[in-house]
Every structure is written in C-alpha cells, then in structure tokens.
Structure 1
Amino acid sequence: MKIKIFTEGGKDIGLGHISRCSSLYNEAASRGISVDLIVYGDIVDVDFLNGINIINENWLDKEYLYNNITSDDYAIVDSYEATKEIYDIISKKTKKVLYIDDIGRTVYPEGIIVNPSLDASHIDYSKSQNGILLSGPEYVILRKQFRSLKKENISKEVKRVLIMMGGTDIRGLTPLIIDNICRNMLDIEFDIVTGSEEMEKINSQISKPKNITFHNNLDATQMMELMISCDLAITAAGQTIYELLATQTPFIPIKVIENQENNIKSLFEYNPEQIVLRYDDLDFLSNLNKALEIYSDIEYRKSYNQRYKDLVDGYGSKRIVDYLLKDKNKEYKINLRKIKSEDIKEVFDLSNQDYVRRYSINKDKIEWADHIKWFNSVLEDKSTVFYVVTDKNESFLGQIRYKIAQNSATVSISLSEKLKGKGLSKEILSKSIKKIFEEEQSVKDIIAFVSENNIASKKIFEGLNFKRVKDEDSMMKLILKKEDFYVN
C-alpha cells in the first residue's frame, strides 16, 4: 500500500498547499506507510520539507498519471490547478481518493472531500457524486507540533508582535508595515517571518529599525515557539491563521488574495466581531493602526481568545488519514441501550469533561455525592428516558437523555471524545430520536437547548430539521416536530 499526495507550490504559487500536504505526509509516514509527495512547481530549500520524499513532476499531465498510479494506491489531491478530467483519472485508477478543497472549486468524482477550515456551510458541495464531506475545526490540518497547545498567560501590554505576509509577500505589505507601523512603535519588538529572497529584497529597499528581527526557513517547532512568545500577530489570512488559533495567539488577518475569503467567512462564524483588513483598502494603514490600538487592551485580547478557545486542537491530519484508510462503519458499530446502574461512573466522568461543562447551562464541576443522588433519582424517574451510546464491544461512548413532559421530550446529549472527528454525532442523535418517537408514542416533538457558541452542535440539530424558536438563559431553544423528522 502507498499513499500518493498530489499538489502544487513554489515561488509563484505559494507554500500553503505544500505545508498542509506535508502534515498529511508526516502523519501517514509516522504509521510506517510508504508515502510520495508529488509536487508540480519549483520547491527548493524549504526547511519544513526536510526528510520528505518530494517528487517534482507535472502530475497534471494525463500520461504521467496513467503510468504512475495503480489500483493499490490511496491518493490525496490538494490543488487549484487540476481539471475535472485529472480528478476523474485519479479517482478511477486508485483504491480511494481524498480531495482537499476549501473554496468549492469544482464538482468532484467519487471520493472524500475535506474542507480543512472552521466552517464550510457557505460552500455548496452537493453536486459532487458521493456527498462525503469532512469539515469543521476538527479537520483543520496542522503540523503535529501545534497539537494541544495552551498559552500560559496573556501579557498586560502588547510588547511583541509577529508579522507574516507569506514567504513571497505577493502584495509587498511587509516593507509598508515596517515603514509606517514598526518605525512609529519603537517600544514594541516586531518579529517578521518571510522567505530568504523576500528578506534580502526588503533589506535592499529600506533601512531596518532596531526593533525588528527577521526570521526565515523556520521549522515547525521554531514557528510554534515564536507564535506562543508573541502577544499579537499581523498575518495574511491563509493557512497561518489556523496555527495562530492553535497557539492561542490573537491575530489581525489581512486578505491578500481572493481564495482567502472563505477563511475569513469561517472566522466570522465563530467571532462576528473579528477585525479583518484588506490589502487594497485605501485606508489600510489607518485601519491597521486602529486595530493595533484595539488589540492593545488586555481585556479585548482575553475576550478574543475566549471566543476561539480550544477550537483547533491540531489533530486534523490524524483524523483525515484515519478516514482515508478506515471504514468508519466497521470501526464503530453504534448501539443505543437503556441506562444501567453500573453506568454511574462513566456518566459522571463524561459529564465532568471540560468540553461538556463549557456548553452546559450549569458550567460548574459536579461533585460525586451530588451525582449519586441525581443518577439514582433519574433511574427511578418514569418521565426520563436515558440511553447509553456504546460500540460493538459495549464500550461507553456517550449518553442521551430525554425528559418527557406532556407531548414534548427535552434532549440532553454528550459524547465521548473518542468519537470526535468521526462524523457520527448526527447519526447517533438521529438514531436516538427515532427510538424515542417509536417507544414513546405520546411524544410529538423534541426540544433542545444549545449554546450560541456551540456552532458544531447547532449545525447537527439544524441538519435534523430542528427549528430555532427563542433563547432561554443564554441558550438557543430549538424544536423538532415529529412530522419534520420523518421528511429527512
């Protein structure tokens, strides 16, 4: 078995696709899988590609594909250049293919589509043949050095600012920012990440202020450490924004190319107040100064980080390779059964997980003594229907509880992190709804309360025809009528 990753990149194209493909390469290679990274472009002297088997070939040529891929190969394609014909050849000749797409650029043949951005709801993939789409924060592709990071503290003042306009800085913004921002803020240290050629070009054009340090060809660990050490970043709105989210570094994104618009839309889904600049705005420098002034407020930066807290955990590459290589239905055969007294500890542990408490009405940790009383009362409550989610081995994977009052049942659901990224949450919820409607004939509608900030859960409920009716206690109230469920 071999995985072949097809992409393009270089001086005139950029390194965004190369960066995320290298992450997928390293994830697969770490499992002992043979991997080729086949690149159309001019890739030379890029430190983060050290140790990667790069094949510089024009894979966009049909003859190359006919001669170099087989039915035993798995393929990953990350391209803005490939035609529909090229995708068809790869799909037909390989065992399984996965397409990386964050702009909805074409209709794809059979395979898996991955949108590695925060949100893909504004992109229509419905015309692609098989409809398999992996999207959301759990599929953001990052290098392994960016996994499960936490910033120790937020500085009272902004003392260090990171500037990243891409290796080639196609809009020439870096010298503009140096001359008009850095020179006027000598009490702030500026770290500028750029390519070697771009750094030489800037140094030949302008004199460098003493408060600037240039960095180029950083490896993943160096980049991660630099981001964590800075209080704020000014960045092009490309792949780098996801590394900044993972390191919990507040940032001011600048749209420098049209294909970054979807990244910006995704940010607004989670933070409607996100400040975004555009390189061609006539007031660009004035707006950047205003943004820096806003971000200088520590309370603003704390609030900013809270909106994105734990959003990107860095395990997207792992989940994507898992999905490419495995059949999720074989890995998890989901079952629902009624609660038993011996489930008390698993329910307690799950209920006290930080990610469960964060989106609950009561955010405080639960005491064991209180949990025992509550659990026993629920077991005896005839108006409560309590299901446990298990796999084929009867391992505990979550809980779904329905509180029945007259003709309505209010649902509460929490699932194990083992299921994160598996795309099974909607299936599990749907299965439980079907079960409650069949077992409790008096129930005519299901009520759910979802945190406004829990975008993923909101989309799952809405995908099952739940309708938002009003808000209560800072939670959205959604209702699913029985007749609406059966039109899904």
Structure 2
Amino acid sequence: MKVSIITEGYDKTGYGHITRCLALYQAFELRNIIPAFYVNGDEGSLSFLADTNHEIINWLENQDTLFRKIINSDVVIVDSYLAPKEFYNRISLVTPTPVFIDDFVRLEFPNGIIINGLINAETLGYFPKSERTLLLGTKYASLRKEFWEVGERPFRLDIQNILLTFGGQDIENLTPRVLRMLSRNFPNMRKRVIVGGGFINEDQIEQAKDVNTEIYKAPLPQELVKLMHDSDLALTTGGQTIVELARVGVPTIAICVAKNQILNMNGWVKEKFLQAELTHNQPNLENRLLLLINSFRKKQPRELAAKIGRQKVDGSGAKRVVQHLIEKYAGKSGFYFRKTINRDSALLFNLINDKLVRATSIYEMPLKWGDYLDWFSGKLMDDDCYFLLAFTTSDQFIGQIRFDIKGYYAEINTSIHQDWRGKGNTKLVVFNASYKCFYEKPNVGYIHAFVKPQDSQSLALFTQAGYVLAERTTINNQEVIVCKLQRPR
C-alpha cells in the first residue's frame, strides 16, 4: 500500500495542515505503512517533520515533478488552502483513492474521499455523490499521537494555571496584549505562554510578563500535552488547537484571528465547549476576556466544559481514517499489502523458519538469526527486491510475497502463515501481488515460481493464481517445476 501525503505550512499561515497530516502519517506508521510526505513549507515546518519520510517541495510550482513522485500511489491525501481545483482534478485521475481534507467546503471537490474533522462538519452542506465518501465531524479529527491516549484531568477549586497559546506566529499580536491584562488582573495566577517559532513579538512578551509567567518556546508535542493537562484554563485562537484542548479536556476561551476559523468556533459555541465567539478586533476585548475568565473561577463550569470536549474528541480520529482507507484499498478481498520494513524482521523470521515452510523450500535448513538478519537487511536495501507482506484489514498476518527481479523476469517466493494455508483467498493474495509487481515494475515481462513436484498445495496455489506449468529444472540439486506468469498484453 503506497501512500502519499501532500500539504503546506509556513510561519505566516500556520502549521495546522502539517500537524493533522502528521497525525495521519503517524496512524499509518502505527500499521507499519510508511507514507511519503510532501510539504510545501519553510524552515519552521521542519520542526514538525522529524523522523518522517518527508520532502520539502514547492509542489504548487513544480506539479509535474510532484506527480512523477506520487506515481502508482494507492492513496493520495491532499490538505491545502492553496491548491486550485484543477490540482484536485488531476489528483483524482492518478490514484484509485484520492483523499481531500477540507474545513469549510472550500471547493467543489472531485470524486474521492472528503475528510472534515471539525465540529459539526456534518451540517456544512457537502453534496453527496455516488463516487464520493464523506468522513465528517470530530469522530475523524486527526490529532498527533501524543493526544491519542490522554488521562482525565484533576480540577482545582479555583484557577491556578492559565495557558496562552496563540498559534505558531501570533499573527494578531495577541500574546503580549492578553498577558498584560492577565498580569494586571490576576497577578497570583501562573501564566504559561507558548511562543511559536514564527513569533516576532518576544520583546513585547518579555515586557508584559510578571513573576508568575513562564515562557515555553516551541515545546515538543509531549511537553505541550503535559502543559495542557496541568492547566485550569486555556486562551487560544480558533483553529486546530481548540480540538487538541477539547481532547485533553481543558476549558477554553478562543479568539478568532482568521475567517477560516469562524465555522469552527461557531460549532464549539453551539456545543457549549466555548462560551462565546470572540474576535481579535472587537471592542473591549480585554473586558470580555475578564468576564469569561471569572465565569470559570468555579470548579463546576470547568468540569462541564472538559466533559463536553472529551466527549466530542476521543483522540482516535486519525486511526479511524486510516482504517477506512485500508478497508477501501482492500475492497472485497479483505486484505492489503505493504512493503516490508526493518521492524518486520522477527515476524518474518518466525514465518520462514516454520517447519512446513522449510519443508517446501528449496533450501530446507533452518536459518540462524544472525545469518538471517544479514540476508534480511540485504533484501531491504536491494532495489531489485520487491518485498511485500499481506495482512487482513484487522492486521492478521497472512504471509510474505517476495519478487527478486533479474532483468526482464522476476522470481516469486511466497510463505503463507499456517492460519491461512489452503484457504481460498491465498490464491488471490498471490494473484494480486503478482499483478502489483507487473504494475510497479514495468520492465518485468514474466514471473517464475519454483515448486517442488511433491508440493501439491503450492502447485495448486500458483496455477489457481494464473501461473502455468512451464518446465522442469534443477536447483540446489533438486528437481523443481517452473510455474510461469506472463505480463498481460
């Protein structure tokens, strides 16, 4: 299963698209599927992309280059406010599963899967079509893995800790303005201020802080979750951070700083997680904030807001999306392929050292762990080895299918887990894997399988998958039958 994710993020526009795409990346990674991550971003975006298979590319201005990179992708995910409709149309033509992430019905998207994980997205009027799937609402809100499992928060009798987090660049200079108000009116409360990588107002923040102010510069996700978890109240903007705070169960006051945040804030007000819709330029903003903060001084309204937030956002949205995409890819067959990776070493070692697998192999001796690791690492680094594992959509291991490419032809090697041997869908596994090899490797004209004459089960498996018995030959001093599958014309 080849997955490509395409998005954007800059200090002037924020990194919300990157963080929710990162959540999907992490949910695929949990299933040992490693996407290719293409980001139209700046230096600040790199802090979100550590340990990912990413590439910084201005794909808007280099579309042909991008499309060469995503060729043969089974799933392509696009999350953008900049891509024109023509770009989406082109995506929908090059992949069987195009996925478009949206916030406010920005375009009339082509056929595919539309994801909108914002609150009450079901009410936005997406036009249903037979070739369109809609994944709408906070059930599909994609949060980074640090937010997947978050415990219940304690509630203090009064507010002790207030969190200020106004995005990656604080485009409306809210942090010093709000911090001055808090320092003046609540000197004994601890103010924890998140400073993003794009902030240009740090001098003003220093001037506005008091002795109970703590500054945190671009904290790592796990540190951010800890700060949220220990906060009695948060002040933020109207974007993706609201969803993260709802997940942790932090009572929140939000200030809208962009038109694309209006629908999100309106939805959270309707659900009573937010008490009011504030805007950065409204008159008497500080007075409104004071009233709202005082309304949260008692424990009960904070407990109620936290309960609403956690009910609406359970942290599993990204995993739900990935499960849906895997099921879509698998279709009626009920299984999917992914490339073999390093962490599969033990799984595969146990399979190929199975007694029946060794008995049907041309090389019957069990493999020693050290020798096996050398062989396994070599195969993963070999460009002429196309190495797939097959799983059910619930991640039950079916087996491995490996193609060693030797110029114009490839040799197939299969090992099926004991729970699946002799079952009807294993022939479909071999059939689909073989044609996937033809599709991914255009220079391969035919595929050979070498089977012992006495291995009737494997002979039946390959012939049912479309292979023909071509000839007999000798390998490792053993007679084998050559089964051959030719590339369809």
Q: CA deviation at 1:93?
A: 0.7
- Deviation digits for residues 152-201 of structure 1, max 9, x if unmatched? 42110100000011010000011111222223311100001122452763
Give the equivalent residue in structure 1 for 2:57.
57
Asked if structure 2 preserves the Cα contact closer than 8 Å seen for 1:7 and 1:18, the reply is: yes
Aligned partners of 1:178 and 1:131: how far apart in 2?
46
The CA deviation at 1:127 is 6.7
SS of residue in 2 equivalent to 1:324: helix
* 1:43 lines up with 2:43 in the alignment: yes
Deviations 1:332-373 (A, max 9, x none): 99xxxxxxxxxxxxxxxxxxxxxxxxxxxxxxxxxxxxxxxx
- With over 3 angstroms needed to count, the CA separation of the structure-2 counterparts of 1:252 and 1:46, relative to structure 1, is farther
Secondary structure in 2 matching 1:246: helix
After the TM superposition, list the runs of 4 or more consecutive aligned residues in structure 1 that deviate by more than 6 angstroms.
none
SS in 1 for 2:121: coil
Q: How far apart are the structure 2 equivalents of 1:79 and 1:243?
A: 20
Partner residue in 2 for 1:198: 199
Q: Specify every segment of 5 or more residues in structure 2 that has no aligned partner in the other structure, as ranges.
A: 335-489
What percentage of residue pairs aligned between the two structures are identical?
31
Aligned pairs (5 A) from 1:341-380: none
TM-score (structure 2 length as normaliser): 0.64
Equivalent residue number for residue 306 of structure 2: 305
Q: Do the aligned partners of residues 137 and 82 (structure 1) sit closer, same or farther apart at CA in structure 2, a change above 3 Å counting? A: same
One-letter amino acid matched to 2:60: L
Letter in 2 for 1:189: R
The match for 1:68 is 69
| 1:385-424 equivalence runs, <5 A | none
- 2:332 and 2:30 map into 1 onto residues whose CA distance is 21
Structure 1 residues 32 and 330 mapped into 2: Cα distance closer, same or farther (>3 Å)? same
Please state if 1:23 is matched with 2:27: no
Deviation at 1:117, TM superposition (A): 1.1
Work out whether residues 119 and 136 of structure 1, in 8 Å CA contact, stay in contact via their aligned partners in 2.
Answer: yes
SS in 1 for 2:19: helix
Residue 277 of structure 1: how far off its partner (Å): 1.5
Identify the residue that residue 134 of structure 1 maps to in structure 2.
Answer: 135
> What is the identity, as a one-letter code, of the residue corresponding to 2:109?
Y
Alpha-carbon separation, structure 1, partners of 2:64 and 2:332: 37
CA–CA distance in 2 between the matches of 1:102 and 1:164? 21
Q: Which residue of 2 aligns with 1:170?
A: 171
Within 5 Å, give how 1:382-461 maps onto structure 2: none
Contact 1:48 1:220 in 2 (8 A): no
Structure 1 CA distance, aligned partners of 2:15 and 2:227?
19
Q: 1:2 Cα deviation (Å)?
A: 2.0
User: What secondary structure is seen at the aligned counterpart in 2 of 1:12?
Assistant: coil
Query: CA 1:35–1:307 in structure 2 vs 1: closer, same or farther (change >3 Å)?
Result: closer
The answer as to whether partners of 2:269 and 2:277 remain within 8 angstroms in 1 is: no
1:153 is aligned to 154
The one-letter code of the counterpart of 1:154 is F
Q: CA–CA distance in 2 between the matches of 1:204 and 1:299?
A: 32
3-state SS, counterpart of residue 199 of structure 2: helix
Query: Which residue in 2 is equivalent to 1:88?
Result: 89
Q: Structure 1 residues 66, 48: CA separation in 2 closer, same or farther (over 3 Å shift)?
A: closer
- State the secondary structure of the residue aligned to 2:234: strand
Count of residue correspondences:
334
User: Aligned AA for 1:54?
Assistant: H
Aligned-residue CA RMSD (Å): 2.5
Query: Structure 2 CA distance, aligned partners of 1:246 and 1:166?
Result: 17
CA offsets, 1:367-405, max 9 Å, x none?
xxxxxxxxxxxxxxxxxxxxxxxxxxxxxxxxxxxxxxx
Query: Does the 8 A contact of 2:266 with 2:277 survive in 1?
Result: no
Partner residue in 1 for 2:374? none
- Displacement of 1:310 in angstroms is 2.6
Aligned in 2, Cα 1:310/1:198: closer, same or farther, shift over 3 Å? same
Task: Spell out, residue by residue over 1:282-327, the C-alpha distance to the aligned partner (whole angstroms, 9 max, x if none).
Answer: 1111101111111112122123233334321101111111112213
Residue equivalent to 2:34: 34
> Matched residues in 1 for 2:45 and 2:266: separation?
33
CA distance in 2, matches of 1:45, 1:39: 8
Partner of 2:180: 179
TM-score when normalising by structure 1: 0.64
| AA partner of residue 81 (structure 1) | L
In the alignment, is residue 209 of structure 1 matched against residue 204 of structure 2?
no
- Larger Cα Rg: Structure 1 or Structure 2? 2
Which amino acid in structure 1 is aligned with residue 159 of structure 2?
V
